[in-house]
A and B are shown apart, each in its own frame.
Chain A
């Protein structure tokens, strides 16, 4: 009798208490389908910390990480990194920020990917809305509304300047051509001016 094939393991540790960040079942199925039958997908049911750069790791996540080759989480909790040492090859963070994971991932040889580009478009929408909030005087209109004041003259008589042309936008981001740059494309589509960045070194798989 031949031994059963040794399965490779991927851990899904994305059960956020926040509805926006909690992985839906359909996504887990897509991940399983992409991996194929030789893989064991272990879904951690314990809540995962999705605020900031993630937490230290739940006992269930740490247990699941032992022997895992791939880990999907909010950052890489220190407990998970320690438990998966020697077997972990790739970790993916569903956050853009991975600062809290760097200390225990540096020098590990584990590939780490993040979700910077995934967040770029909604963040760009927010930036454009925030710029319009001030440049078109919505902040002043809201203040007048709270006072129950019909403030038409504030705007028509020049007391409050209303920008009539698109502002020049300076953006501080890292990596021209990387997903971070998408945050500047939407303001540009709205007619807003420049952008600036800092080239990054080519990303290589180790």
Chain B
């Protein structure tokens, strides 16, 4: 880890990244976090990858920067509107990889999921802390 920062540090992060991967949860705080200002700080020919929620990313600004050839491409598994509407410019854009919100699909899902549930059942019965406890106030 080179450094750790918060939302206010996103432009700094973008300025030093060849690839920006968005993996934050959708919360009131993160909606629209990757806006035009952040995208414009990315180096020439950088990539944007979104596996989080479409609501975090300014899709119009992304498209514009792709059209201007400021960005090399975008790999998007999530969109502001899903399914992605017919005729949306992302569908036919040569430098956009469109995926139908499937990056988490895996043949090993239930093996991992069941292990988590069983571990948490044992913790619950023992009165011990649960793994992956959501902070309802923070929203994730």
Residues of A within 8 A of B (CB): 20-21, 23-24, 26-27, 30-31, 34-35, 52, 70, 72, 89-90, 92, 94, 96-99, 102, 105-107, 111-119, 121-123, 126-127, 130-131, 133-135, 139, 143, 161, 167-176, 179-180, 183-184, 187, 192-201, 203-205
Alpha-carbon distance A141/B38, docked complex (angstroms): 30
Alpha-carbon distance A126/B103, docked complex (angstroms): 6
Alpha-carbon distance A119/B95, docked complex (angstroms): 26
Q: Which of A34, A98, A114, A199 is packed against the most chain B CB atoms within 10 Å? A: A34
Within residues 3 to 61 of chain B, which ones have a CB less than 8 A from any CB in chain A?
Answer: 3-7, 9-10, 13-14, 16-27, 30, 33-34, 45, 47, 49, 51-53, 56
The interface residues of chain A lying within 8 Å CB-to-CB of B107 are: 20
Q: A123-B23, A134-B75 are in contact. Are A21 and B109 (CB under 8 A)?
A: yes
New A-B contacts (18) at CB < 8 Å, excluding given A134-B73, A198-B5: A34-B118, A70-B124, A98-B140, A99-B27, A115-B132, A118-B113, A122-B108, A123-B51, A161-B45, A169-B17, A169-B21, A170-B19, A170-B21, A171-B21, A193-B2, A196-B9, A203-B135, A205-B129
Whether B19 pairs with A205 at a CB distance below 8 angstroms is no
Within residues 93 to 133 of chain B, which ones have a CB less than 8 A from any CB in chain A?
Answer: 94-95, 97, 99, 103-110, 112-114, 116-118, 120-122, 124-125, 128-133
Whether A201 pairs with B138 at a CB distance below 8 angstroms is yes
Q: Which of A98, A122, A172 contacts B23 (CB 8 A)?
A: A172
The interface residues of chain A lying within 8 Å CB-to-CB of B26 are: 97, 99
Query: Can you list 13 A-B pairs with a CB-CB distance of less than 8 A?
Result: A34-B118, A107-B136, A112-B134, A123-B104, A127-B51, A134-B72, A168-B17, A170-B16, A172-B33, A174-B140, A176-B1, A194-B1, A196-B1
Q: A134-B72, A196-B9 are in contact. Are A113 and B122 (CB under 8 A)?
A: no
Alpha-carbon distance A204/B94, docked complex (angstroms): 47
